[in-house]
Amino acid sequence: MAEVPAPERGSEAHWVRHHLDEFVRGEVESSPIPGGQRAADAALAGFTVRGYAARRNEVWPVDRRGASGLSPYIRHGLLTLPRVWDHVAGGPARDVTAFRDELLWQEYARHLYARLGDATQRSLRYSVEERGEPYDWPEGMACIDLANDELQRTGWLTNQTRMWLASQWSMRDGAGWRDGEDVFFRHLLDGSRAANRVGWQWTVGALTGKPYGFSRWQVEKRAPGLCHECDLRARCPIANWPPEDPPEARSYADPRVRRDPDLATTSGAAAMSSGSGAAPEMVWITAESLGDDDPALRSHPDLPVTFVWDVPLLQRLRLSSKRLVFLAQCLADLAERRELIVRIGVPVDELAGIPLAATFAPVPGWHRISSALQLVRVDPWPWLVPPHDGPVTSFTAWRRRARA
Ligand SMILES: Cc1cc2nc3c(=O)[nH]c(=O)nc-3n(C[C@H](O)[C@H](O)[C@H](O)COP(=O)(O)OP(=O)(O)OC[C@H]3O[C@@H](n4cnc5c(N)ncnc54)[C@H](O)[C@@H]3O)c2cc1C
């Protein structure tokens, strides 16, 4: 494979069908949540933090919700955490604190993943089933149907319904949490191994030893009236709390959860100092860095930009077409402001021999690919809080050392 025309605004679904057909199961569908810098800027401008603390966890009816819905844009670098942090300055103190706390959860997940990488595939501190028999959501429960339908239709879920699904999957039905994490990852527009794995590990108790129990109580509180519409309302399978069955501490826990032996690699300082300083010919962007504020894009405003659809990754992940269209929308939007060269193939082959500039990304895939490329200039990742080498055993332990 090789260079292909960049997607154009308004025809991204068609572009995905034409160029990425072999990676799509069934029809190509778009999410009602649009991709692209313009959409991200509009979503941020339309978000006001007032009322967030009281309404963040509301699920249904939809107009009761107070969550920002910014996660797909944050995930792909269209909105940096520092920018979103600043956006809510001056709002009601309680709401600002609650919202910024969630931004710090995102940062915590990124730090943990930057340090531990693929080791986050294992239950980090407590033994919880990771892989198991094929499993599907139970049918007929209005709460599960509501969440599952939204996931499939839009590629987005509230935090509350993510916890409902993950708890039902793992605690009630005993399915492997890694399988569930893969299902989420396939569909979520904000799907990241960093936050998705922390979310699953936390919900099933693999991080804290205390699984999150899901029952009718949360549905009545967060989605009042939904149970009246449920066929199973008179024989609700989750009328009671699930049995308390705390997982056992793992006999071997990765020592890096307590201390980082290589902070320079985690933070990106090592990658930045490895660039030769020669003149780059292009800026290489990835799914971590699709926004106009990407530091390498800003440092090199006149260079062409390149993005490679990573074929081995696409073959392995089998992402939903909504995710692919969302990414294509981001590229189409960017192509209106920058010269954009889009390729489909194996990144190290497609970019071989080109002196590149890029922004460091705190994910194992970036380390693997970039080490085989000719990166001559590396810009820093826009951390909200600089990584430290202390514990990431829990959000609270990490937070004690983190300075926002
Ligand atoms: C099982 C499970 C899986 C999850 N998978 C992902 C995922 O793949 N990608 C992802 O970005 N988030 C994930 N989360 C975290 C969280 O649910 C979403 O970030 C949040 O629901 C996104 O909606 P929002 O933008 O309206 O959030 P808001 O409540 O408006 O919060 C603002 C931002 O803070 C961050 N944030 C909020 N809550 C969390 C959290 N608990 N952990 C980490 N960051 C948070 C997000 O960047 C979010 O956009 C997961 C949570 C669980 C329980």
pLDDT tens, 90-103?
999 999 999 999 99
Amino acid 134: pLDDT: 87
Residue type, 329: Q
Mutation pick for ligand 1 pocket among 106, 184, 214 (CB with most ligand atoms within 8 Å): 106
Q: How confident is the model at residue 253 (pLDDT cuts 50, 70, 90)?
A: confident
Mean pLDDT, residues 196-211 taken together: 96
Amino acid 293: pLDDT: 95
Amino acid 25: pLDDT: 84
| Distance between Cα 230 and ligand 1 center (Å) | 27
pLDDT in tens, 352-403: 999 999 999 999 999 999 999 999 999 999 999 999 999 999 999 999 999 7
Q: What residue's CA is closest to ligand 1, atom 37?
A: 102
**Superfamily designation of domain 124-249:** DNA Cyclobutane Dipyrimidine Photolyase, subunit A, domain 3 (1.10.579.10)
Task: State pTM to two decimals.
Answer: 0.98
Judging by DSSP bridges, how do beta strands 305-310 and 340-345 pair with one another? parallel
**Distance separating alpha carbons of residues 275 and 278, to the nearest angstrom:** 8
Ligand 1, pocket residues at CB < 6 Å: 56, 67-71, 74-75, 102-103, 105-106, 109, 158-159, 162-163, 166, 184, 188, 190-192, 195-196, 199-200, 203
Mean pLDDT, residues 188-214 taken together: 97
Ligand 1 atom closest to residue 212's alpha carbon, by position in its atom list: 53
Q: How confident is the model at residue 323 (pLDDT cuts 50, 70, 90)?
A: very high
Q: Which CATH class for the 36-118 domain?
A: mainly alpha
Mean pLDDT, residues 316-323 taken together: 97
**Distance separating alpha carbons of residues 385 and 361, to the nearest angstrom:** 15
Choosing among 3.40.50.300, 3.40.50.620, 3.80.30.20, 3.40.30.10, the CATH entry for 263-379 is 3.40.50.620
Can you read off the two tokens belonging to residue 367?
A: 């380390």
- Asked if the domains at 36-118 and 124-249 fall in one CATH topology, the answer is no
Amino acid 403: pLDDT: 76
Mean pLDDT, residues 51-74 taken together: 98
Mutation pick for ligand 1 pocket among 74, 128, 159 (CB with most ligand atoms within 8 Å): 159
Long-range contacts of 309-312 (CB under 8 A, 24+ apart): 309/19, 309/20, 309/342, 309/343, 309/344, 309/345, 310/346, 310/347, 310/369, 311/1, 311/344, 311/345, 311/346, 312/346
| Distance between Cα 351 and ligand 1 center (Å) | 33
- Ordered by start, the domain boundaries in the chain are 36-118, 124-249, 263-379
| Distance between Cα 334 and ligand 1 center (Å) | 25
Which of 195, 197, 113, 24 has its CA nearest to residue 365? 113
**Distance separating alpha carbons of residues 245 and 210, to the nearest angstrom:** 9
Mutation pick for ligand 1 pocket among 74, 88, 184, 190 (CB with most ligand atoms within 8 Å): 190
Amino acid 54: pLDDT: 98
Amino acid 252: pLDDT: 86
pLDDT value at 1 more than 70: no
The answer to whether 285 and 294 are in contact (CB under 8 A) is yes
pLDDT value at 404 more than 80: no
Mean pLDDT, residues 218-222 taken together: 98
| Distance between Cα 31 and ligand 1 center (Å) | 18
Mean pLDDT, residues 39-45 taken together: 98
